[in-house]
Amino acid sequence: MNIILISLDTLRASRLGCYGYEKPTSPYLDTIASQGVLFERAFAADIPTEVAHTDIFTGKVGLTTGVVSHGSDLSQLPKTTDWLPTMLRKAGFQTAAVDNLYQLKEWFARGYRHYINSVGEQRWIDGETVNQLAKEWIGGHKDEPFFLFLHYWDAHTPYLPPESYVPPFYEPGRDPFDPANRSMEGAYNHSAYPFFKHHHYDLLGGVTDAAYVDALYDAEIRYLDDKLRELDEYLEAQGLRDDTLLVLFGDHGESLTEHEIYWDHCGLYDTTVHVPVIMRWPGHIPPGKRVKGLVQQADLMPTLLQAASLPVPAGLDGASLWPCILHDEAGTRDRVYLSECAWQACRGIRTERYKFIRIYDPGPFARPRRELFDLQDDPQETRNLAETMPELADAMERELDLWVKRTLNGRPDPMVRQLTGPGLPFRRRIEQILAEVGLNWDEWLASPDRALFDERHHERFAANRRT
């Protein structure tokens, strides 16, 4: 058998047709879902990218591995930690990756006989590049069992799809640069603006219509869908499709202005933590299967090991998904514990009906210390019930604290270590950007002044050009 594990970075579940979206973003992904199993309620227990992928390859959540923060110098993963590619290589699989997570942490290159770094001159990576590198490797190793990890970044900011992909998602006749449209003001005047000005907004050329940025995200997904179709057609042409377990997942989703998060992946709301997970293996996975119960990304490692008839290590936080794939069980768990330590620091619990979030550090956001949502009555998570339902909020907070204490088992809390030490990684990024133009973080956070920042930013780069 072969295994192809595909990370669809920043892909929000609710933006796919197979998850109920009405726009044509994902016709081929929808087809793959119909040929295998789709997990309706899959969640990223740890966000964003660095910690999510560490969960996936270890079968353990961040609180167990100690890797809870994205972009932190404090994060380390011992080489003694069980690592999926290493286990598969030792079992006789040829192992390869087309990926650039090695740029974040060295452990993402572990276990691969062939690590093909997809990093380029630009910050973003096009799916066409991933396909070219993947097909070249597959063509040379199609006659031996292999494990291949592919990482597509198309849905990640900056959203720069081919222009031909945009019209189906943007209302004809609208002007994305209409000066009378004020819908971008929330994004342009947000505390996180200095970071996104350089990495996203400047590349879009002064867009004034927020709906246009949403359309660009949808167009990126549609473009990604075409790249996945090309890859799958190549597998078919090489005679590999029927003997390949294909697993597609989102490492996290994307907030598209919800909760004052503008085209980014932070916060433990479902827009960010509800992710697609789709698996296809002809003859082994029944087509058209939909699993309704809660699952988490750490479940993927034991699932793949079981598919390869390999022993599953003890002490994992994840559990194999094969029981709910092959039978009619609702899912593997009744709750998922959530965590973030990047833009903000928070933990939460997600059950079928309720979501509880506890904020440790809000970062550049205005957040209450506790949030409680009834997902049955309020699926958009707009009404915080922590004050009106204090008994439930207290009970869920106690449960969260108990889970943290039990999981740490006497070890220091890595989130507390991060916050009492260097602080939130993305706050430090903004602080550095502000310092470069002579602005102070605390003053900026109290009253963000976009015009002043733009003026200082322009002056700085003009001076650099002169020198």
**CA gap 453, 440 in Å, rounded:** 11
pLDDT at 463: 63
pLDDT at 203: 93
**CA gap 377, 353 in Å, rounded:** 9
Cis? peptide before 158, omega within 30° of 0: yes
Calculate Rg over the CA atoms of the chain: 22
Has domain 2-175+211-333 been given CATH number 3.40.50.300? Answer: no
pLDDT at 187: 94
Q: Pick from 276, 357, 198, 343: which is nearest to 39 by CA?
A: 276
pLDDT at 26: 98
Helix/strand/coil for 94: strand
- The two structure tokens encoding residue 247: 């697993």
Cis? peptide before 48, omega within 30° of 0: yes
Where exactly are the structural domains of the chain? Answer: 2-175+211-333
pLDDT at 330: 65
Strands (E) located in 320-397: 335-341, 345-351, 354-361, 370-374
pLDDT at 446: 87
**CA gap 45, 307 in Å, rounded:** 23
pLDDT in 10s for each residue of the chain, 467 residues? 999 999 999 999 999 999 999 999 999 999 999 999 999 999 999 999 999 999 999 999 999 999 999 989 999 999 999 999 999 999 999 999 999 999 999 999 999 999 999 887 665 679 999 999 999 999 999 999 999 999 999 999 999 999 999 999 999 999 999 999 999 999 999 999 999 998 899 999 999 999 999 999 999 999 999 999 999 999 999 999 999 999 999 999 999 999 999 999 999 999 999 999 999 999 999 999 999 999 999 999 999 999 999 999 999 999 999 999 998 766 689 999 999 999 999 999 999 999 999 999 999 999 999 999 999 999 999 999 999 999 999 999 999 999 999 999 999 999 999 999 999 998 888 889 999 889 998 889 888 888 888 888 888 766 655 44
DSSP 27-72: HHHHHHHHHSEEEEEEE-SEESHHHHHHHHHHTS-HHHHS--STT-
pLDDT at 459: 80
pLDDT at 462: 63
- The two structure tokens encoding residue 117: 């770094």
pLDDT at 464: 59
pLDDT at 125: 79
